[in-house]
């Protein structure tokens, strides 16, 4: 065999027929290296396109799920608000007139939000506990020292001690929240 015949036998070939039931023998078409490379590139591009389409479909499905979850969440919040308002109205209807007016005032959305903010930031149990314990201890120590050296107390020591303990309590709460993640 000469070199041309040898290289022709090593190349992939395409069989072309005029149909599956045709009586003609199959003819062989030889592809050049350039045609083979082009065909491989087309196959790679089709595979890449298919992969990109799968990724796009996955992203679209994730976005649809996220949108549906947010809609469910919004509906849940709306249902909760409606239920809360009905409960408050039912409870207010059973109150005497003066209490009903006071209840309507404190349940205004702005006042309710301010109250929740103050309750979550200022009136925390540990903060008040630290404030009261420090007020007691610092006032006790200050009283004992002032009695021994003959100094008269002015009366603001307890308030100052409570404020000091209050600040220590806030710092303690936020550090604990920062490191442990637990609010109380």
Give the SS3 label for residue 14.
Answer: strand
* pLDDT the model gives residue 80: 80
- pLDDT at residue 9 greater than cutoff 60: no
* pLDDT the model gives residue 141: 93
Compute the distance between CA of residue 137 and CA of residue 158 in angstroms, rounded to an integer: 9
pLDDT tens for each residue of 129-173:
888 998 899 999 999 999 899 888 888 888 999 999 888 888 888
Mean pLDDT of the chain: 78
The model's pTM: 0.42
Q: Which helix (H) or strand (E) holds 81?
A: helix 33-93
* pLDDT the model gives residue 75: 62
pLDDT tens for each residue of 92-112:
888 898 888 988 888 888 988
Name which residue leads in pLDDT, 85 or 29.
Answer: 85
* pLDDT the model gives residue 153: 83
Domain segments of the chain as ranges = 32-107, 122-179
Task: Write the CB contacts of 31 (distance below 8 Å, at least 6 apart in sequence).
Answer: 11, 12, 13, 14, 39
């Amino acid at each position: 065999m000469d070199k041309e015949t040898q290289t022709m036998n090593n190349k992939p070939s395409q069989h072309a027929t005029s149909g599956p039931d045709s009586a003609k023998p199959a003819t062989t078409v030889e592809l050049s290296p350039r045609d083979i490379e082009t065909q491989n590139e087309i196959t790679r591009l089709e595979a890449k396109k298919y992969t990109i389409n799968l990724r796009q479909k996955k992203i679209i499905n994730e976005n649809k799920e996220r949108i549906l979850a947010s809609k469910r969440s919004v509906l849940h919040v709306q249902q909760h608000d409606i239920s809360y308002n009905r409960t408050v109205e039912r409870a207010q209807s059973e109150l005497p007139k003066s209490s009903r007016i006071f209840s309507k005032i404190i349940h205004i959305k702005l006042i309710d939000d301010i109250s929740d903010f103050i309750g979550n930031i200022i009136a925390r149990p540990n903060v008040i506990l630290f404030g009261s314990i420090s007020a007691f201890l610092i006032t006790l120590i200050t009283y004992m020292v002032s009695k021994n050296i003959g100094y008269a107390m002015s009366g603001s020591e307890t308030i100052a001690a409570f404020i000091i303990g209050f600040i220590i309590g806030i710092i303690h709460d936020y550090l604990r929240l920062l490191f442990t993640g637990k609010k109380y």
